[in-house]
Chain A
Amino acid sequence: MTEQVVDIPVKQPSKSWTQQVVSSLLKRTSAKIGLAWIGLLVLIATFSPFLASSHPLYMVVDGQASSPLLQHMEPLDWVWLSGFFITLVISALSIVAWKKILLWVASIAVVSFIAYSSVTPPVLVVYEHYREMEAAGKVDNIIRAPIPYSAKDYLRDYADTGIESPLSVNERTHWMGTDENGADVASRMIHASRIALGIGFIATGIALVIGTIIGGLMGYFSGIVDIIGMRLVEIFEAIPTLFLLLSFVAFFGRSIYMMMVIIGITAWSGYARYVRAEFLKLRQQDFVQAAIASGLPLRSILFRHMLPNGLAPLLVATSFGVASAILAEATLSFLGLGLVDDPSWGQLLNQAVQSSTFNWWLAVFPGGAIFMTVFAYNLLGESLRDAVDPHTNRGMQS
């Protein structure tokens, strides 16, 4: 063939499959509702110290300006905040998806390291003394958060506090009432949104990684690997997650991270099944066969040609998985085996039935939040399934 120079045209924008799915997803009302609620939750979780805190945002005492809120910010608060902005920046970058993920994980790790080694908030936290100082007239100027109560502020300065229904006390404003310890329900719910989001994402993330690796190996190599893998899947499917959680809580105490890990390592079997089925199907597809026939290395065949094509059903399963992880934590907290002092929606729900009277605000608000979150993820999963399914897609176009 003779050498010839061909003009290569400039790279023209052409919609990739991912862009198509995203745009078709955003056309659906149910997806919009689901994404809006999850987005709102993310915002609330990120900015929860600024939304609900007993520490004033800005305060001038004896002519000295200070920000008690910033001083009392925990390392975790800083990680959430910077994580939020890192995510925004990275998603705007135009690089390959796996590089984005890698960059994101790396920067979160760096930020966490810096935050935990440099930020040292005061160990002793006294919520009451701002209100005392204010009452004593020492404060010249003060800016408070919209809900001026921290999640763990039990209002000890008001002496005999306990369960109060919304807006029942004149001297304080509790939009959603207080719980049995006298803490503001709205504030506790805002701070609990982090647990709801975190447990969903981390537990599902762990399950996803394990499931994809094991399922992928089973699907690609099949044969004996598949037989052993499937037995492993069956063993893990036989473990009752809630029972395992209860036993671990009984033996090792209550830790949110332990819960995430346990939910993660028991929930992977479903994802492994999905990935296996997809890989078994994809292995016979012509483009995979052509990739083998071109002598491409196994790494490229698995990760470039097979995995991206098998992800669609996995994404759908993931959104349902997040919802069920949130429910698992809420169930545990409802049973009184959740976190001790830290706020959680399930624990608030539990308090609704604890005392002799039925405290509707402790049932309606946290229950509603759990319902809305699970519902939002299910809506999202449902729309995602339609968006990645070429048949329903075609049905919408024709």
Chain B
Amino acid sequence: MTLLEVENLVTELGEGDNWLRAVDNISLAVEPGQTYCLVGESGSGKSVTALSIMGLLPHGHYRHPDGHIRLTDPQGQLPEIALLNADDETLRSVRGSRIAMIFQEPMTSLNPVQTIGEQLEEVLLIHRPELEEEARKQKILAALAEVRIPDPEGRIREYPHRLSGGQRQRVMIAMALICEPALLIADEPTTALDVTVQAEILKLMRDLQTKYGMGMLFITHDFGVVAQIADVVGVMRKGKLVESGKTADVLRNPQHEYTQSLIAALPERLIRPDRPVKPEKVLLEVKDVSVYFPVRRGLMRRVVDHFRAVENVSLQVNAGEVVALVGESGCGKTTLGRALLRLQEVTSGSIFLEGQDITQVSAKAMRPLRRRMQVVFQDPGSSLNPRLPIHTTLIEPMRVHGIGSSDAERTQIAARFLDRVEMPTDSLWRYPHEFSGGQRQRLAIARALVLEPRFILCDEITSALDVSVQAGILRLLRQLVDEEGIGMLFITHNMGVVDYLADRMVVMHRAQLVESGNTQEIMNSPQNEHTKNLLDAVPRLDDNYLASAI
């Protein structure tokens, strides 16, 4: 008996005469005890599908020209409900009790001014008004214990800010499951979490599903997650469901060319180019670098303690090689990267760029040196100045460093580098908001390249991008490193990316370097416990995994 049936669903977003078809004729069915995974790149309409089912789209800004959504009760006790275009009263009675939803961002999905206990209790008060206070409390404690929150008795009196991201997501799951819904909709519930935490949450969700036999509609962009959790998978593209079927079938033997291209674009499945052999020439050497942040308290802002962000880290980057810096969030990898560029003062230790110690150089003397080391940041939304056309962004650093004799010549150079990062030259006269995330990252790479640096720091530059876009950028980076002999430190948490891109890798854990060495060696036989955890947690869709796991 089918739990949720979506038939020919069409959702259009917009207003007035301006409508955009976000979901185009989608049919899917979720069985009880089964996980249906909707997978697709950003903008493919997966979240809109989920919101259409829940009736949570912005009021007056959507319409459904066609389609049916039916929610049935597998036990046959509760009435069948048509969810599409249902009135608010019906939807309210269904939400929370028969369908529950978990959102992506654990940091904002809990109310910061209410304790966890109050928030869980509110759900019960609304959907299970017959319960006594004592029964409610027992149920809340049981729910928190179920999602393996340590010390639930103490936690119910705490506010969300005391919990880590992973724990908040556990609380969200507890809140979703407290009324024992028949259907759980999870919209990228693990995307904002670290890989190790993601692995735990996925396991928890699987366990709970088996226990309660609920149906789950799971939305993700990550094929690794699909492989771990899905029974049935549907691949979406531009609002259409291009392929669906049993997970093992779709992943092993994708029929539609879009699914094929998506799977081929996973970094662990990219074809590796031959790397030219280079003489080892040390470009950047980091010796015992520590970065402490002072903790200030009181009226006089006295320094009472230090937060140790980076402690005694040593590493080196050779010309023409990529070194990956891997670690969980908060381990100090970004701080280390900023310290290398002197965007953050180091507390102790020294950094040598081509043999020159740059830690003691004054800010003014540093400026000409900056040409030799460049950076590309993570967030494509803020990496380019939104008020300046690309032309100005690229030309200004060249002018400051005396590259090219006139602006016309610099424009030529800029155009050449745009060509190099595979962007059309008329991008010069456009503003950042006219480009997509991947294009902006390419432009940010071009900005770093125009100064012809010896060393480039890439701080998670592909983590906000879709896999196919990421594949393009990774290929480009590898090409640049091989052809120009640039040294690159690539900060990431994605093991697939490390595998494809890096010659060597270093692993950081809690401000310290725990392991370093050749990428392949570490991947195959990690020595350190944390490295092992990190590698085990990452679902990687290489051939071995496909053959054995599913």
Contacts and interface: CB of A to CB of B under 8 A. Distances in A.
A, B from the same assembly: yes
A290 interface: yes
Contact of A290 (B377, B433, B484): B377
B451 interface: yes
Interface stretch (B257-265, B380-388, B542-550): B380-388
Contacts of A9: 425-426, 429
A286 B378 contact: yes
Contacts of B451: 294
A15 B426 CA distance: 14
Interface string B355-376: 0000000000011111101110
Nearest to A223: B301
A17 B400 contact: no
A15 B431 contact: yes
Interface in A290-306: 290-297, 300, 304-305
A11 B389 CA distance: 11
A341 interface: no
Interface string A147-180: 0000000000000000000000000000000000
Contacts of B371: 294-295
A64 B386 CA distance: 64
A5 B408 CA distance: 12
A289 interface: yes
Contacts of B388: 304-305
B412 A286 contact: no
Interface string A376-398: 00000000000000000001001
A126 B371 CA distance: 73
Contact of A8 (B58, B61, B373, B411): B411
A285 B382 contact: yes
Given A8-B415, A289-B343, A309-B387, A295 B367 contact: yes
A337 B400 CA distance: 55
Interface in B428-468: 428-431, 433-434, 444, 447-448, 451
Contacts of A293: 341, 343, 370, 373-375
Contacts of A1: 416, 420, 484
A356 interface: no
A371 to B, nearest CB: 33
Contacts of A355: none
Interface string A185-219: 00000000000000000000000000000000000
A285 B384 CA distance: 9
A162 B273 CA distance: 96
Interface in A88-142: none
Contacts of B343: 289, 292-293
A286 B382 contact: yes
A332 B338 CA distance: 55
Given A294-B447, A398-B61, A305 B385 contact: yes
Contact of B374 (A8, A11, A294): A294
Interface residues of B, number: 53
Contacts of A4: 416
Interface string B331-351: 000000010010100000000
B401 A295 contact: yes
Contacts of A7: 425
B377 A295 contact: no
A290 B369 CA distance: 14
B13 interface: yes
A296 B396 contact: yes
Nearest to A307: B387
A330 to B, nearest CB: 37
B382 A287 contact: yes
A16 interface: yes
Name the residue among B379, B382, B415, B448 with the largest chain A CB count within 10 angstroms. B382
B489 to A, nearest CB: 13
A240 interface: no
A357 interface: no
Given A14-B430, A17-B387, A398-B61, A290 B416 contact: no
A162 to B, nearest CB: 58
A16 B429 contact: no
B14 A286 contact: no
Contacts of B368: 295
A304 B392 CA distance: 10
A67 B367 CA distance: 65
Given A6-B425, A9-B425, A294 B412 contact: no
B419 interface: yes
Interface string A326-357: 00000000000000000000000000000000
B426 A16 contact: no
A293 B369 CA distance: 10
A304 B415 CA distance: 22
A6 B448 CA distance: 20
A4 B417 CA distance: 11
Interface string A273-295: 00000000000011101111111
A294 B397 contact: yes
Contacts of B385: 287, 291, 304-305, 309
Contacts of B428: 8
Interface in B41-58: 58
B278 to A, nearest CB: 18
B491 to A, nearest CB: 13
A296 B398 CA distance: 10
Name the residue among A11, A286, A300 with the largest chain B CB count within 10 angstroms. A286
Interface string B1-26: 00000000000011100001000000
B227 to A, nearest CB: 33
B293 to A, nearest CB: 13
B258 to A, nearest CB: 25
Contacts of B366: 295
A14 B61 CA distance: 29
B429 A286 contact: no
Contacts of B377: 286, 289-290
Contact of A287 (B338, B384, B389): B384
Contacts of B433: 17
Contacts of A292: 343
Given A17-B386, A17-B433, 17 more contacts: A6-B416, A6-B425, A8-B412, A9-B429, A14-B429, A18-B387, A285-B382, A286-B377, A287-B386, A292-B343, A293-B375, A294-B396, A295-B367, A295-B371, A297-B400, A308-B387, A309-B386
Interface of B: 13-15, 20, 58, 61, 301, 338, 341, 343, 366-371, 373-375, 377-379, 382-389, 396-397, 400-401, 411-412, 415-416, 419-420, 425-426, 428-431, 433-434, 444, 447-448, 451, 484
27 contacts: A6-B425, A8-B415, A8-B425, A11-B429, A14-B429, A14-B431, A15-B431, A16-B387, A18-B387, A227-B301, A286-B377, A287-B385, A290-B447, A293-B341, A293-B373, A294-B451, A295-B366, A295-B369, A295-B370, A295-B371, A300-B396, A300-B400, A305-B385, A305-B388, A309-B386, A398-B13, A398-B15
